[in-house]
Each structure stands twice: as structure tokens, then as C-alpha cells.
Amino acid sequence: MMGTHSLNLLPKSFRPTLASLRPNLLRFDSTKLTSCRRQNLGIRSVFTGIVEEMGHVKDLGLADHGGFDLKIGARVVLEDVKLGDSIAVNGTCLTVTDFDTEEFTVGLAPETLRKTSLEELERGSLVNLERALQPVSRMGGHVVQGHVDGTGVIVSMEAEGDSLWVKVKADKALLKYIVPKGFVAVDGTSLTVVDVSDQESCFNFMLVAYTQQNVVIPTKIVGQKVNLEVDIMGKYVERLLLTTSAYNTPQAKKG
């Protein structure tokens, strides 16, 4: 548990977000940060992008160990949880460090805050939650690693009947992996892309009524960030083509 070290000492009028406390979090020993990055290089868990439930942020703050703790209220994902398990929070794979029957705690590294939209969270924020895939689980969405590639910004949300169109602006470095009718994970939700506009650097998708009731995206507003993870298959193909091309150059053949 986080105890009295976090935000209880702050004025009641102060509503902290991860962004407001981020400067303190970044005062880490560089060796610890390097170690953390190395530990995350391997694929330890896989998700499907099918959100199991929406949890809510109960507390967040600096921890005694010098890092940052995030406490989330939940029910479904706690049914069989164990210490060290991975849970995707808005599409970000995080490790459970403490839990009871109503809540669990995860730690956040500086790199996680830099790469994701989790820095915008505050007490009461809703978050998408999904446990890691098990060998006997059904693959209802697509392969999601929980390794957020970057963030996008919601630029429009328009209703059509009981469905909701959402347009997201993304960095061109990510947009190249996003294709019409392809998969993309937005805040950890597996979604099918409808259209991609290279000129606007945007893509859009549609949320049906059921999905709107079970994920956090509709609770956000234009201008807010969302976590993006592109389909890993596109990266593998790009890497394979680049490597093959490099080996086929005249210089490589001579070597």
C-alpha cells in the first residue's frame, strides 16, 4: 500500500495528476532507469485488446522506494491476480506490486510517463483494464503487447445513430503502420481502422453502442491524449524488408 507518503500531505484543493508530479519522479538514479529498461526488453505478456472492465484511479503518488505508485479500484481483474502479474492499464503493461479484494497497485517508471498518456490521470479517472492472455484464452481482438508506441490526440468525436466516430491525430512515424481495415490498440482497446489520412496525419474508427459502454474512450474529450500501439506485424514486415534490402546491396554481397 502507498500509505501516508503520497498525497495526503498536500492541500485538499490540490488535485494531482501524474503530470504534476512527474518532475520529482524523473529524479532517478540513471542506473536504476537503465535496469528498468533492460527488464522491459523481453515480451513477458500478451493481451488481446478486449477490455475486461473499467477500473478507477483511487490514489497516485510518489512511493517510499522513490518511484511512483498508481492504485486502481477493480473487481474482475482481481479474481485470480497474483503479485508480479501483468495487467494492461489503458493499454500499458504494468506489474502488480500489491493488491487486495478491491484494488491493486502498480509502479510507473519515468519512461512509461514519457511514452504514454498515463501522466494525465488523476483520482477518479476511469481506465481500461485487461489481464494478460493465458494459453487457454480466446483471441477476441488482436495481439497486443502492452508496449505503447506513443500517444495520439482526439481531434473529433461525432455520433451517427447509436455509434460514435472518433478521429485521432498521430505522429507520422506511427501512422505509417496504421492501415484501413487493420488493427490498432487505442488505450488498450483493439479497434478496426476505418480510414487513414496521411495529409491530416489522422485515422478514424467507429465505436458501436456496446463498446462505448465498456471502454474509456467515449469518456474523453477532444484534445485529450490516447495511448497507441500499432500492429506488431507491420513492424516485423518493415524490419524484414529493411534487413533483406541491406543484405542485397553490392557492398554486402562483396563481404
The residues annotated as belonging to the active site are 47, 86, 93, 95, 109, 147, 192
How many other C-beta atoms can be found within 10 angstroms of the C-beta atom of residue 118?
28
Cross-sheet strand order for the sheet of 189-192: 189-192, 183-186, 225-230, 150-160, 163-169, 202-207, 195-197
Distance CA 32, CA 35 (A): 5
Q: Quote the strand ranges of 102-224, DSSP E.
A: 103-108, 126-131, 150-160, 163-169, 183-186, 189-192, 195-197, 202-207
233: DSSP letter: H
CA quadruple 59, 63, 68, 71: dihedral sign: negative
Strand partners, 146: none
Q: Give DSSP secondary structure letters for 69-93.
A: EEEEE-SGGGTT--TT-EEEETTEE
The number of residues in the chain equals: 255
Distance CA 63, CA 86 (A): 20
Q: Quote the strand ranges of 8-52, DSSP E.
A: none
Phi, psi of 165 (to 5 degrees): -85, 130
Rg of the chain's alpha carbons, rounded to an integer? 19
